[in-house]
């Protein structure tokens, strides 16, 4: 039996659904029931009727699905796949930051631990940070952990944002020079980038989108696109837009953590029911509150 047949057989036996982020390996995206961005995956996670969710992404994504679904078993095929940005802030550090800005609301990007979410008023993703911040009553907003997303969001709000100094090592290494060189190499192509990029990269882009936002935008234009985000998304872009060219803005925009999950780890996870995610109930309830408010806000990209 092929590994793909094994996965499908086990999936049926376990009553499981496979969710995969847009940065996963192409072969993992291809066996998933649903592939999407952070918001889409969280939305899907609350909609699922199956007993088991196998989450192919990085740890905070599987943890969020577990926070939202206390009655389901959420399996992370590779718990070692962590998001370095999420590890750049702790709940203790956020509590101290909040003391420096009494009266400010706290928005936390979903790329964070459940403990950090539990300390926050509301979560956001790259697809709704502007909408979330502008929905708040307070005029001052603490925004953790991504500095670049905070600064991009600041462009579209009159509120004062206090950013944390976290960053995504994969997106932060994209330079303005990469954009300029790729424009020269691919004249006529448009540049779309993720809001986790540096501000000078965002300034040079034609569009700034979450990963699902990029997929949606690609369908509205005939142009070739230079992609300023993790290269895994190019699999879906090519599949959904045959005959079009999608060029990575540079050769090194790879998130090594997103690539840790393979067909073998998905198969083993279903076979051995590992690794189930559990979150302490007091933290889970508070983190769910912040995630529920984000889900109620929905999408909102510029």
Q: Interface with ligand 13P by CB under 6 A: which residues? A: 22, 37-38, 111, 125-126, 168, 194, 196, 210-211
Residue 125 carries which DSSP code? -
How far CA 42 is from CA of 46, 172, 273, in Å, comes to: 7, 25, 21
Whole-angstrom Cα distance, residue 49 to residue 106?
32
Assess contact for 23 and 255: CB atoms under 8 A.
yes
Say how many residues make up the chain: 302
Whole-angstrom Cα distance, residue 287 to residue 279?
10
Q: Look at residue 37 and give the partner it binds from ligand SF4, ligand 13P, none, a contact being a CB closer than 5 to 8 Å depending on partner kind.
A: ligand 13P
Interface stretch with ligand SF4, choices 82-90, 97-105, 132-140, 266-274 (CB under 6 A): 82-90
Interface stretch with ligand SF4, choices 124-132, 163-171, 205-213, 259-267 (CB under 6 A): 163-171
Residue 82 CB, shortest distance to ligand SF4, in Å, is 8
Q: Which is nearer to ligand SF4, 90 or 289 (CB)?
A: 90
Assess contact for 193 and 174: CB atoms under 8 A.
yes
DSSP run (H or E) holding 226 = strand 225-228
Q: Which is nearer to ligand 13P, 77 or 228 (CB)?
A: 228
Q: Helices (DSSP H) in 80-222: which residue ranges?
A: 91-100, 114-118, 129-134, 147-154, 169-172, 176-185, 199-204, 211-218
Residue 37 CB, shortest distance to ligand 13P, in Å, is 3
Residue 229 CB, shortest distance to ligand SF4, in Å, is 8
Encoded one letter per residue, x for contact with ligand SF4 by CB under 6 A and - for no contact, window 14-53 reads ----------------------------------------
Q: Which is nearer to ligand SF4, 197 or 226 (CB)?
A: 197
Interface stretch with ligand SF4, choices 83-91, 157-165, 205-213, 266-274 (CB under 6 A): 83-91
Q: Which residues contact 234 (CB under 8 A, 6 or more apart)?
A: 227, 246, 248
Q: Which residue of 29, 111, 148, 154 would you call a contact of ligand SF4, by CB under 6 A?
A: 111
Q: Which is nearer to ligand 13P, 6 or 206 (CB)?
A: 206
Assess contact for 32 and 18: CB atoms under 8 A.
yes
Q: Which two tokens stand for residue 107?
A: 């928005």
Q: By rule CB under 6 A, what count of residues binds ligand SF4? A: 14
φ, ψ (nearest 5 deg) of residue 141: -135, 125
Q: Look at residue 42 and give the partner it binds from ligand 13P, ligand SF4, none, a contact being a CB closer than 5 to 8 Å depending on partner kind.
A: none
Encoded one letter per residue, x for contact with ligand SF4 by CB under 6 A and - for no contact, window 252-291 reads ---x-xx---------------------------------
Q: Which is nearer to ligand SF4, 85 or 122 (CB)?
A: 85
Site for ligand SF4 in 220-259 (CB under 6 A): 230, 255, 257-258
Whole-angstrom Cα distance, residue 62 to residue 54?
8
Q: Which is nearer to ligand 13P, 61 or 104 (CB)?
A: 61
Bond preceding residue 145 cis, omega within 30 of 0:
yes
Give CA 34 to chain center in angstroms: 14
Contact positions vs ligand SF4 (CB under 6 A): 58, 83-85, 111, 168-171, 196, 230, 255, 257-258
């Amino acid at each position: 039996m092929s590994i793909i047949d094994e996965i499908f057989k086990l999936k049926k036996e376990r009553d499981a659904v496979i969710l995969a982020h847009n940065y996963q390996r192409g072969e993992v995206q291809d066996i998933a029931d649903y592939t999407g961005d952070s918001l889409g995956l969280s939305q899907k996670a609350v909609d699922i009727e199956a007993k088991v969710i196998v989450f192919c992404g990085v740890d905070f994504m599987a943890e969020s699905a577990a926070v939202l679904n206390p009655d389901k078993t959420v399996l992370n095929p590779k718990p070692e796949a962590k998001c370095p940005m999420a590890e750049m802030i702790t709940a203790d550090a956020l509590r101290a930051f909040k003391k420096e800005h009494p009266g400010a609301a706290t928005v936390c990007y979903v790329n964070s631990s459940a403990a950090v979410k539990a300390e926050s008023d509301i979560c956001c993703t790259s697809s709704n940070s502007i909408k979330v911040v502008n929905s708040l009553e307070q005029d001052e907003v603490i925004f953790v952990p991504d500095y670049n997303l905070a600064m991009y969001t600041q462009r579209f709000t009159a509120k004062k944002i206090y950013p944390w100094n976290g960053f995504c090592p994969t997106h932060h290494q994209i330079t303005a020079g990469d954009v300029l060189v790729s424009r020269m190499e691919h004249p006529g192509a448009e540049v779309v980038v993720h809001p986790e990029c540096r501000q000078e990269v965002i300034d040079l882009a034609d569009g700034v989108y979450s990963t699902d936002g990029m997929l949606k935008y690609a369908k509205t234009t005939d142009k070739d696109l230079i992609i300023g985000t993790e290269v895994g998304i190019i699999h879906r872009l090519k599949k959904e837009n045959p005959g079009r060219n999608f060029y990575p803005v540079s050769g090194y925009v790879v998130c090594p953590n997103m690539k840790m999950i393979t067909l073998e780890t998905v198969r083993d996870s279903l076979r051995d029911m590992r690794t189930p995610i559990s979150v302490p109930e007091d933290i889970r309830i508070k983190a769910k509150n912040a995630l529920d408010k984000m889900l109620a806000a929905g999408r909102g990209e510029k």
